[in-house]
């Protein structure tokens, strides 16, 4: 009888990626033990109970991996379920019909640019739209919208959001000096984020976009806990390494039960203004293919356009400055889809 290799079993099992996540069993520290009795292999796993909806797929895939190992005659998967941490939710912005967070998992993918142009396209559909730039440490929205004035306050002490091309906008960037660093941690940071929601006189809005900072940590969780979020939009560039981080954001939203409204591939390709040739500088179509594999809605592809960068630097966004451009039409199409999905 062929001897079963425990080392080969561990290697095969640890590399398995749990469906709907970017985590392997090794990353998740889920593999707790392997028992080999003659030709039978029993595997003990410890997984979050939020993965129970895919238990059959997990068991079937792992059994196939085990049975492919020399000497294995039968396989059994035993799973212990770890209770998902409960998150307390509040709603500090009751006057808003829909709240949408925009995340990426990493920086440098053009998330704020996409958020601004998507919000403006929604506004052009006749909706009352607000935009909260929640990046405390690196707020870029004021520059990209040409905002230089400081906000005023109501007699009740609430902050009045600024107006930019019909959007109601609030950002740390309009409250502090441009070159002054923000050095906050822990409770102070969380308090500031809560004030951004409850102490801003947003008024009645059809939709508030919250431009999340990169990552999947305390800042993101604090915002989701304190706003009744209706869904999330994920922005990624086409490279595999970028979408790997986007999957972390998708996993975070899944953990706190925030539905994914759509995924956007930004910097999808570059169309040469001189010759018209389409060049996929960062690749093309990878985000759409990944969304289909994960059974998540795909909103659209935004090509690279010099006018988008120029608009961000000058404070005149593409959707406003170039209303007839192909890229603007992409944003308008995504806004129309999002409006329908949100029931507005």
- Look-up of token digits 């999330």: 232
pLDDT of residue 284: 64
φ, ψ for residue 304, nearest 5 deg: -70, 135
| pLDDT tens string 245-288 | 777 778 778 877 889 999 998 877 666 666 666 666 665 667 88
Q: Name the CATH superfamily housing domain 96-342.
A: P-loop containing nucleotide triphosphate hydrolases (3.40.50.300)
Strand partners, 169: 131, 162
Q: Of 302, 304, 284, 303, nearest to 243 (Cα)?
A: 284
Average predicted confidence (pLDDT) for the chain: 81
Sign of CA dihedral 228, 231, 237, 241: positive
Per the CB < 8 A criterion, the answer to whether 112 and 140 are in contact is yes
- The DSSP output letter for 257 is T
Tally of residues, the chain = 344
| pLDDT tens string 113-171 | 999 999 999 999 999 999 998 876 667 788 888 888 888 888 888 888 899 999 999 88
The more confidently predicted of residues 60 and 217 is 60
CA-to-CA distance for 196 and 214, rounded, in angstroms?
A: 18
Helix, strand, or coil here: 18?
A: coil
On the CB side of 78, how many CA atoms lie within 13 Å of its CA?
8
Enter the CATH code of domain 6-82.
3.30.300.130
What percent of the residues of the chain are helix, what percent strand, and what percent coil, each to the nearest 5? 35, 25, 40
Mean pLDDT of 215-242: 76
> Cα dist. 243→36, 79, 238 in Å?
38, 29, 7
This prediction has a pTM of 0.69
* Cβ-based neighbours of 99, under 8 Å, separated by 6 or more: 93, 207, 208, 210, 227, 228, 229, 230
Helix, strand, or coil here: 313?
A: helix
Q: Which DSSP helix (H) or strand (E) runs through 196?
A: helix 186-198
- The DSSP output letter for 303 is E
Per the CB < 8 A criterion, the answer to whether 163 and 138 are in contact is no
Domain ranges (residues) in the chain: 6-82, 96-342
φ, ψ for residue 103, nearest 5 deg: -130, 170
């Amino acid at each position: 009888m062929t001897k079963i290799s425990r080392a080969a079993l561990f290697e095969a099992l640890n590399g398995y990626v749990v469906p709907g996540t970017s985590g392997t069993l090794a990353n998740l520290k889920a593999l707790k033990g392997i028992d080999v009795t003659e030709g039978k292999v029993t595997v003990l796993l410890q997984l979050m109970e939020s993965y129970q909806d895919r238990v059959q797929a997990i068991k079937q895939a792992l059994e196939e991996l085990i049975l492919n190992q020399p000497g294995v005659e039968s396989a059994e998967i035993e799973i212990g379920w770890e209770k998902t941490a409960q998150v307390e939710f509040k709603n500090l912005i009751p006057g808003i019909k829909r709240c949408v967070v925009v995340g990426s998992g990493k920086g440098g993918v053009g998330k704020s640019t996409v958020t601004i142009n998507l919000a403006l396209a929604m506004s052009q559909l006749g909706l009352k739209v607000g935009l909260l730039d929640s990046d405390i440490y690196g707020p870029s929205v004021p520059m990209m919208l040409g905002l230089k004035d400081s906000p005023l306050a109501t007699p009740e002490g609430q902050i009045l959001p600024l107006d930019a091309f019909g959007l109601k906008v609030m950002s740390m960037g309009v409250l502090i000096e441009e070159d002054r660093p923000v050095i906050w941690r822990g409770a102070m940071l969380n308090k500031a984020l809560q004030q951004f929601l409850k102490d801003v006189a947003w008024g009645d809005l059809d939709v508030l976009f919250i431009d999340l900072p990169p990552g999947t940590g305390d800042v993101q969780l604090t915002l989701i806990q304190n706003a009744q979020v209706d869904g999330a939009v994920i922005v990624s560039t086409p490279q595999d390494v970028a979408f790997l981080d986007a999957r972390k954001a998708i996993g975070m939203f899944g953990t706190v039960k925030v539905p994914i409204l759509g995924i956007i591939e930004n910097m999808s390709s570059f169309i040469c203004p001189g010759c018209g040739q389409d060049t996929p500088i960062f690749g093309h179509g990878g985000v759409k293919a990944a969304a289909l594999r994960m059974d998540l809605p795909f909103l659209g592809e935004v090509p690279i356009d010099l006018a988008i960068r120029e608009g961000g630097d000058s404070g005149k966004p593409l959707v406003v400055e170039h209303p007839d451009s192909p890229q603007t039409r992409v944003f308008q199409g995504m806004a129309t889809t999002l409006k329908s999905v949100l029931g507005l």
